């Protein structure tokens, strides 16, 4: 009887032990972004998002063509690398069902040169490199027009109508506009008089937008970068915490200390 009572007592004590509840697994979010500054920022976001129960898996890309295709196909849950005009042009061309859910940063695009200190110094017939995608090529042409080097046809580059080199109606210096992939432009500076380069590619190439750009677009405008998700996912419970993690004080401080004015918060 004593032995049985002892076993019963042990069993009863074991049954009364309250085990800690198992923590629910964090929500995994597969996030596509560009290698370089974007990925650096998202490492900070990842730490902040962890506090909200999100496990952000960062997938890095090296060109602008892939992240939207991967998101639309369901290989990503979100991406963060583009501005609204670029997204609009991708949706129009490829019929992606992708939506903007929050702004991240603005990085003014600039012209760079290894030979010149000013766009005003461009000689006649100079080769000018611009991006070959509609929205960023449009930005480059608008900046050339702002600097008085070309004149675009009426309405070109405005109201969602991306300008192309075919829209140049006046080119008094007979500049040769060379359209190249954004990733190639920094490596092509030896062969070009100047080139328009997006900030992320400029930084990766060792260029300082604040010190090396010889002309820079205005901060105001539609070119703030954003976080995108599939349209069907925009109301999922993980979306708002993801955006909030990016639009946090920690990220704001990181942008200020790490990029010193080259990349500014758009939130």
Residues 243, 249, 250: CA angle, nearest 5 degrees: 90
CATH 3.40.190.10, applies to 110-216 = yes
Asked whether this chain's domains 27-108+222-265 and 110-216 adopt the same fold, the reply is yes
Decide if 177 contacts 165 (C-beta within 8 A). Answer: yes
Residue 158: its pLDDT value, please? 83
Is the predicted pLDDT of residue 14 greater than 60, yes or no? no
Sorted by where each begins, the domain ranges of the chain are 27-108+222-265, 110-216
For the stretch 218-251, pLDDT in tens is 877 789 999 999 999 999 999 999 999 999 999 9
Quick check: helix, strand or coil at residue 214? Answer: coil
Protein fold of 27-108+222-265: D-Maltodextrin-Binding Protein; domain 2 (3.40.190)
pTM of the model: 0.82
Residue 107: its pLDDT value, please? 93
Decide if 224 contacts 103 (C-beta within 8 A). Answer: yes
Nearby residues of 217 by Cβ (< 8 Å), 6 or more positions away: 108, 109, 110, 139, 142, 143, 146, 223
pLDDT band at 24 (very low <50, low <70, confident <90, very high): low
């Amino acid at each position: 009887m004593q032995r049985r009572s002892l076993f019963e007592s042990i069993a009863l004590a074991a049954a009364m032990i309250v085990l800690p509840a198992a923590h629910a697994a964090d929500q995994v979010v597969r996030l596509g972004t560009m290698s370089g500054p974007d990925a650096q920022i998202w490492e900070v976001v990842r730490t902040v998002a962890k506090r909200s129960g999100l496990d952000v898996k960062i997938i890095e890309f090296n060109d602008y063509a892939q992240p939207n295709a991967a998101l639309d196909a369901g290989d990503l849950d979100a991406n963060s690398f583009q501005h609204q005009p670029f997204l609009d042009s991708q949706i129009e061309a490829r019929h992606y069902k992708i939506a903007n859910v929050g702004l991240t940063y603005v990085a003014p695009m600039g012209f760079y040169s290894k030979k010149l200190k000013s766009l005003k110094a461009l000689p006649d017939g100079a080769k000018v490199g611009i991006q070959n995608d509609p929205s960023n090529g449009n930005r480059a042409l608008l900046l050339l027009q702002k600097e008085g080097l070309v004149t675009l046809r009426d309405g070109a580059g405005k109201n969602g109508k991306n300008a192309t080199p075919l829209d140049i109606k006046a080119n008094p210096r007979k500049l040769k506009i060379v359209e190249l992939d954004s990733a190639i432009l920094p490596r092509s500076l030896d062969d070009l008089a100047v080139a328009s380069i997006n900030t992320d590619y400029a930084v990766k190439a060792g260029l300082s937008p604040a010190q090396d750009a010889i002309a820079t677009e205005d901060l105001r405008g539609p070119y703030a970068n954003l976080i995108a998700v599939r349209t069907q996912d925009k109301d999922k419970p993980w979306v708002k915490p993801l955006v909030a993690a990016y639009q946090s004080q920690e990220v704001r401080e990181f942008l200020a200390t790490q990029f010193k004015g080259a990349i500014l918060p758009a939130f």
